[in-house]
Amino acid sequence: MIYFVLRSVFARPYKMARYAPLGMLPFSLFTPYAHADNTQGEMTLPAVTVQAKSDSTSTVQPAVDPNLPASVETVTRDQFNNWNVVNTEDTLKYLPNLAVRKRFIGDLNSIIAVRGTSNTQSARGLVYADGLLLSNLLGNSYSFPPRWSMVYPDEIQQVDVIYGPFSALYPGNSLGATVLITTRMPTKFEATADVKAFTQHFSLFGVNQNFNGSEATATVGDKIGNFSFRLGVNHLENTSQPLSFATLAKSSTPAKPGDVPVTGAHFYNNQTNTPTAVIGVNGEGIEHTVQDQFTLKTQYDFTPTVQGAFTLGYWHQTYDSQTSTFLTDANGNPVYSGAVSIGGYHYTIPAVALAPSRGYNENWLYGLSLRTHQATGWNAEAIASYYDISNSVARTANAGGPGNGPGVVTFGDGTGWKTLDLKATWTPQSPAPGLLNHWLTFGYHYDNYFLDNESYNTANWRDGAASSFANSFSGRTQTQAVYAQDAWRFLPRWKFVYGLRYEDWNAYDGQQTVGATRLPYPESSQHHVSPKASLSYDATEDLTLRASIGRAYRFPTVSELFQGKINGSTIINNNPNLQPEDDVSKELAAEWAHWNGLWRLSVFQDDVRNAIFSQTDTTVIPNVTSFQNIGKVRSRGVELSYQGENVVIHGLDLIAGVAYTQSKILENAQNPATVGKYFYRIPLWRADLAASYHIDERSTVMVGARYSGRQYNTLTNTDSNPNVFGGTSTFTVADAKYTFSPTKSTRLAVGIDNIFDARYFVYHPYPGRTFYVEAKVGV
C-alpha cells in the first residue's frame, strides 16, 4: 500500500476529506497552506495520509520537496496506465507546455522540450530515477538524451516535473525542467509479465508499408523482513518509419553526355519552398533496433528510520539503419551515386548520400543510497552513482548500396559519468509563528563527465576490423557545488523560500586528433553563485499566489567544448572558449484547488545570456559553424493547467494544459541576421489533453490530444514551408486507449496513437497511425 505522508494540505479536516482524490496530484503544489484556527494565530499542521490504488508497494517519501519554490506537475502510475506507454518518456506526453522529441518507439534521441528550451537543448533538462542522475550531460543536442532506458514504465510509481531553475537543490541544467522518477518497491511477493505489440502504416515519397514492433517485460519482487528487492527484464524490438530522405535541389542544368538516365525521383517544395528532388531513404534510414534491459534494486531498512538501497542497471542495444534508393536505370538496376539524368536534367549524387549505418552499445548504471526519514528534526541522505558506457561501436559506410565496402568505425568505450550527492534537512517539530518555522536544507554535489571517442577507417563497414586512424575527441568536465535553502513560514499565510548555490566548474584533458595532428586544449574553470527566492501567499484556503526568481548557470558540456564533427565534406568545429549560459528566470503563479482538481496559472520569463547553440558565424570568411554563445535570448509566456478527478461526472479524470511561449533572440554578434527572430523550435502554442473515463472498476477508456503551434527550424526563420520533410510542423494528434482488467492482477488493452494519421515533422517525419495491443498478468 503506497501512502504519502504529507504536511498540511489544508488546515481544516473537511477540506482534507473534500480533496482526498487529489492524492494523485502534485503534492508539492499543496505546500503548507495552513491558516490560523485559534486566537493565538498558531498554524495547525497535521500529517495527512493519502493512499494510492496499488497495494503491493512499500512506503515512499514524496519525490519532491514539499517546500519547493516552483511549479510542479505530476503523473502517477494509475494515470499513465491508461495511456499508450511503451517507453519511460511516454509518461510525460500530456503534461502542460512540455513535449518529448520521440520519432519512433525505441528512439534513443528523445529530448525534453519545455517553455523556452527546444528539443535539441538536452543539457537544459535533468532526469533522476530515485535520485540517480540519468541525464546525459556529455553534450547538448539530440545525440545526448537522458538514459530513459534505465527505467521501464512498469516499475514507475510516479513522475514529477519541476519547471524552471528556482530551487537551489538542483544545478543550472534545471533551466528547462527537472524530471524526478520514483520507482516502487514491493511489500510482498509479486511477479508480472507484460507483452505489447504495435504497428504503424506509413506512406511518404513512395514508401508505403507497415512497420512493426513488440515489447515484453517481466518482473519479480518480494519483501523478506527488512530486505526488499525488485528485479526486472525488458526486451524491445521495433522497426521505424523512414527517418530521413536524400534530397537534391531541383536542377535547371540540362543533362550532360555520360549522365545515366534514371527514374523514380519524387519532387516537392522543401521547408524553404525550394523545389527539391527526393532520391531515396538516407542517413538514419529505416532503423531496426533491438534493446535489452535488466534492472535490480535492493533495499534494506537498518532501523525504522534508516534505509539503504543499491541499484544495478544494464542496457544493451543494437541498431541497423537501412537506406535505399528510389532511382533505377533503364535496365531496372538501382542507382546510388554518380552523374545522372532525371527528367532530362543533370544531377550529381555524392557517394555518401545513401550510406547506411549500424552499431551497438552496452551501458551499466550503479547506484548506492543511504537515507534517514524521520518525521521531524534532522534527516540525511547520501547518493552515489556511476554510469558506464562500457562498449560502444558505431559503423557508417562511405557509400550507398549493398555490399560490405569501406567505411568508418567509431569506438566510444570508457565514456560515462559519476556523481555524488550529500544532503541534510531540518524539519521543525512543532511549527509556530515566528522564527521557529524554518525548513532547512544543506547539500553538496559532485559530478564528473568523461568522453573518449576514436574513429578508424575500415575496409568492411559492417563488421571489419579497424585499420588506419581517422580522428578522435576526448575531454572531461567536473563540477562541485554546495547549496543551502530555507523555507520560512514567517506569518500564518506567508512563506519565503530562499537559497544559494555555489558551483565550481572545471574542463580539462580536452584534445582533438585528426590524422597525425594532435591538438590539446588548455584547462578552463569558472565558479558562480546562483541566488534563488520565492514568496508565496495563501489568499484563501484554496488559492495560493507565488512569485519566484532564480539565477542559474548552465556550464558547457564536454562535446560542446572539445568534440567537433567531421562528416564527409561537413566540418563542425568545437569551441573550448565557450562561456556558461547565464539565466535569470522569473515566474508568477496562482494555484487554485477547485472543482475536484487543481488549477495552475503561471506567467514566466527566462532571460538567458550567452545561450549556447550550434550556429554559423557569418562575420568571418569563410563562415565557421560551431557551438557559440548567443548574446541574449528571452523567452516569456503563460501556462494554464488543470488536473482533476471525477470532473463533472463520476469516473472522469482530466489532465489538460494550454501554453503560449514567445522566445526571441535579442543579441547575437556572430549572426546579426538572427536578431529579432524566434528561437529554434519553440512553438508559440502548445496544448494537451488526456481524459480517462472509468466505465466501471474494470474498464477505462482514454482519449488524448496533443497540439503544437508554429515554430522554426532555423535561427533566421527562413523555413517558410514548415509542414514538410525538413521542416518543423504545426500539428494536432489524437490518441485513444481502452483498458480492461478481468482481475486485479491482469490487464488487456488496445490503443491508437495519431488516430487520423497526421503526417507531421520534426525535420524527420513522426510516426503514422500506430495501433497497440497489450496483455499483462501478475501475481
**Is residue 187 within 8 Å of 56, Cβ to Cβ?**
yes
Gyration radius (Cα) of the chain, Å: 27
Instruction: Identify which has the larger pLDDT, 519 or 454.
Output: 454
Instruction: Identify which has the larger pLDDT, 614 or 57.
Output: 614
Mean pLDDT, residues 356-363 taken together: 95
Phi, psi of 173 (to 5 degrees): -65, -10
According to the model, what pLDDT value does residue 435 have? 53
Q: Could you give the CA distance from residue 607 to residue 619 in angstroms, rounded to a whole number? A: 25
Q: Could you give the CA distance from residue 722 to residue 224 in angstroms, rounded to a whole number? A: 57
Q: Which residues of 234-248 are buried (b: 16+ CB within 10 A; e: fewer)?
A: bebbbbbbbbbbbbb
Cell representation of residue 196: 505489447
Q: Could you give the CA distance from residue 513 to residue 77 in angstroms, rounded to a whole number? A: 48
Q: Where would I find the beta strands (DSSP E) of 373-468? A: 377-397, 407-411, 415-427, 438-458
pLDDT at 54 over 70: no
**Is residue 277 within 8 Å of 263, Cβ to Cβ?**
no
In the block, cell 533503364 appears at: 330
**Is residue 352 within 8 Å of 262, Cβ to Cβ?**
no
According to the model, what pLDDT value does residue 563 have? 74
Cell representation of residue 413: 568505450
In the block, cell 522564527 appears at: 435
Q: Could you give the CA distance from residue 744 to residue 746 in angstroms, rounded to a whole number? A: 6
Mapping DSSP onto H, E and C, the string for 203-227 reads EECCEEEEEEEEEEEEEEEEEECCE
pLDDT digits (tens, 9 = 90+) for 199-253: 999 999 989 999 999 999 999 999 999 999 999 999 999 999 999 999 999 999 9
Question: Is 3 exposed, middle or buried, given 0-12, 13-18 or 19+ CB atoms closer than 10 A?
Answer: middle
pLDDT digits (tens, 9 = 90+) for 637-694: 999 999 999 999 999 999 999 999 999 999 999 999 999 999 999 999 999 999 999 9
Q: Could you give the CA distance from residue 12 to residue 75 in angstroms, rounded to a whole number? A: 26
Cell representation of residue 669: 554578434
Cell representation of residue 605: 520569463
Q: Could you give the CA distance from residue 538 to residue 544 in angstroms, rounded to a whole number? A: 4
* Residue 218, beta-bridge partner list: 193, 233
Q: Could you give the CA distance from residue 342 to residue 251 in angstroms, rounded to a whole number? A: 9
pLDDT at 434 over 60: no
Instruction: Identify which has the larger pLDDT, 767 or 52.
Output: 767
pLDDT digits (tens, 9 = 90+) for 11-22: 323 233 333 333
pLDDT band at 64 (very low <50, low <70, confident <90, very high): low
pLDDT at 34 over 80: no
Q: Could you give the CA distance from residue 128 to residue 359 in angstroms, rounded to a whole number? A: 27
Percent of the residues in the chain that have a pLDDT greater than 70, as a whole number: 89
In the block, cell 542517413 appears at: 283
- DSSP 8-state symbol, 79: H
Would you kindly state where each structural domain of the chain is located, as residue ranges? 3-778
Mean pLDDT, residues 501-528 taken together: 91
Lowest mean pLDDT among 17-31, 139-153, 388-402: 17-31
Lowest mean pLDDT among 431-435, 491-495, 577-581: 431-435
Mean pLDDT, residues 731-752 taken together: 96
Q: Could you give the CA distance from residue 660 to residue 642 in angstroms, rounded to a whole number? A: 16
Q: Could you give the CA distance from residue 366 to residue 232 in angstroms, rounded to a whole number? A: 15
- DSSP 8-state symbol, 66: T
Q: Could you give the CA distance from residue 160 to residue 340 in angstroms, rounded to a whole number? A: 55
Domain 3-778 belongs in CATH node 2.40.170.20: yes
* Neighbouring C-beta atoms of residue 434, cutoff 10 Å: 10
**CA 765 to chain CA mean position, Å:** 19
**Closest by alpha carbon to 386, among 134, 742, 168, 15?**
134
Instruction: Identify which has the larger pLDDT, 53 or 621.
Output: 621
According to the model, what pLDDT value does residue 37 have? 34
According to the model, what pLDDT value does residue 68 have? 87
Average predicted confidence (pLDDT) for the chain: 89
CA separation (Å) from 550 to 501, 537, 589? 10, 18, 14
pLDDT at 417 over 90: yes
Instruction: Identify which has the larger pLDDT, 521 or 9.
Output: 521
**Closest by alpha carbon to 351, among 312, 300, 411, 400?**
400
**Closest by alpha carbon to 261, among 343, 333, 191?**
343
Q: Could you give the CA distance from residue 374 to residue 188 in angstroms, rounded to a whole number? A: 24
Q: Could you give the CA distance from residue 7 to residue 65 in angstroms, rounded to a whole number? A: 11
pLDDT digits (tens, 9 = 90+) for 77-101: 999 999 999 999 999 999 999 999 9
Amino acid type, 555:
F
pLDDT band at 740 (very low <50, low <70, confident <90, very high): very high
pLDDT at 62 over 60: no
Q: Could you give the CA distance from residue 726 to residue 718 in angstroms, rounded to a whole number? A: 12
pLDDT band at 430 (very low <50, low <70, confident <90, very high): low
Mean pLDDT, residues 749-755 taken together: 98
Q: Could you give the CA distance from residue 694 to residue 739 in angstroms, rounded to a whole number? A: 9
According to the model, what pLDDT value does residue 46 have? 31
pLDDT band at 2 (very low <50, low <70, confident <90, very high): very low
Count of residues in the chain: 779
Q: Could you give the CA distance from residue 170 to residue 255 in angstroms, rounded to a whole number? A: 61
DSSP string, 483-499: EEEEEEEEETTEEEEEE
pLDDT digits (tens, 9 = 90+) for 245-295: 999 999 999 999 999 999 999 999 999 999 999 999 997 889 999 999 999
